[in-house]
Amino acid sequence: MVDFLLDRDPVGLFRFASLQSDIARVTLARHGYPIKSAQGLDNIVYLRLGKLKTKSDAILSIVVDIGGVYKAAVMLYLIPKWIRDRIYDAFARRRYSWFGKNEICRIPTAKEKSRFVE
């Protein structure tokens, strides 16, 4: 997802942090997300306008915020969250078998490095 956003967000709207980082733990706790849940968290979390979004809500909010043709994703909010989250979980379990796993992580450019917080 980070590569996807880096390629589609030339103005630098999005910032990134590992969920295991200190800033993520502090931010999650500040917004009422249980710290113990954050330790085992393996999904996407998006802080948007002071509200934490996870799983399908995070993905939909991100693609809508990218803008352009991606704004059409707002229509997917018509699907109940519990259904969207089940689809998210099923996709997350299978993504590596479908698309493979990168052996090498993308090395951010100097400009992209500023978008990663620690």
Residue 24's closest CA among 36, 38, 12, 40?
A: 38
pLDDT tier for residue 61 given thresholds of 50, 70 and 90:
very high
pLDDT score for 103: 65
Residue 116 structure tokens: 């990663």
pLDDT at 54 over 70: yes
pLDDT tier for residue 36 given thresholds of 50, 70 and 90:
low
Residue 56 structure tokens: 């399908």
pLDDT tier for residue 3 given thresholds of 50, 70 and 90:
confident
CA gap 5, 99 in Å, rounded: 18
pLDDT score for 99: 61
Q: Which helix (H) or strand (E) holds 34?
A: none
Q: Which helix (H) or strand (E) holds 45?
A: strand 45-48
pLDDT score for 38: 57
Report, as an integer, the average pLDDT of 52-73.
91
Structural domain boundaries in the chain: 2-113
Q: What percent of the chain has pLDDT over 90?
A: 24
**Whole-prediction pTM value?**
0.78
